[in-house]
Amino acid sequence: MYRLVALFMSLLAAYPQAALSQDYPRRPIKMIMPNAPGASVDVIGRIVALKLGEALGEQIVVENRAGAGGAIGMEGLKNAAPDGYTVLGASTAAMAIIPNLRKNLPYDPLKDFAYVSLYAITPNALVVNPNVPAASTRELIAYLKARGPQTNMASAGPGSQSHLAGVLFMQMTGAQSVHVPYKGGGPSVASIMANESQWSITPAPAVVAFLKQNRLRMLAHSLPERSPLFPGVPTIGEAVPGYTYSGWTGLMLPRGTPQPVIEKLRGTLLKVAATPEFRAMISNQGAVVQTSTPEEFAKLVATEIEAMGKAVRAANLTIE
């Protein structure tokens, strides 16, 4: 009799969890983007919100909470109710770079969240103003070595992905250039088109449209191998062995979110990510679809925190 009662109680306890997975979601979901509208990860996140919402049968409303390198948005997720109705599009900056720049960060990237899955890799593009007399990475290195202080490297700001990508490039090649930080990726890219700055290694999604308009010239990308995403374009690593610095973005929830909700979101995201329509939409933004297990996602973040620490030190950035 005792065993039957125990079995009944265990089944009763499991029922709400199973029902939660079947009924979820029952109202719109909020997706926090810790970036400004129009940023590359914001554009990709909105594609995910649209297609994932369609697959779930409920709208996913994007809410931009930019500021403090993404820390404001991350803190918002940490403090949200762990019920599956607040998700976040996490990226390299908020999860791996800022933790190396701030001592009193209001969140722990490895302990305060539930990981769902990656959804995209955002390669960096080595771009120059069309007037720069360099048609390859090696020619750009030679140009920068010859004219160093007379050239400017644009970035989205100190500690940004484009800043660290450029610093690593110069450190690994011996090239020199003056770092000119801007308030965001848009202004930094605009400065190259205006020839105020001559080059940058910036997230590819931010420059795809301008490449098509011939307002920028792309010399290489940061993926480890050549990609059909950029036909005929070599990798930076072909000229600078070992250089493979790309960004990533993925879906996260507050810690304590019920496992059935996590599994429902991940399973639906994987189905969406496998569709040709979704892959084409992400590809058109200069990114590559990439999914993962929660464990793989968490391991990537831990690895990236360590790698970005080295980049921060190479850039001589002050840790607050």
Q: Which domains are seen in the chain, by residue range?
A: 28-123+246-314 (3.40.190.150), 124-238 (3.40.190.10)
Contacts of 209 by beta carbon, 8 Å cutoff, 6+ apart: none
pLDDT along the chain (320 residues), means of 10: 52 50 90 87 94 98 89 96 98 90 91 98 96 97 94 90 91 94 88 97 90 96 92 96 92 98 98 97 92 97 90 74
Q: Other C-beta atoms within 10 Å of 186: how many? A: 15
DSSP state of 135: S
Specify the pTM: 0.82
Q: Rounded to whole angstroms, what are the CA distances from 194 to 189, 203, 215, 219?
A: 9, 19, 9, 18
Are the C-beta atoms of residues 207 and 129 closer than 8 Å to each other?
no
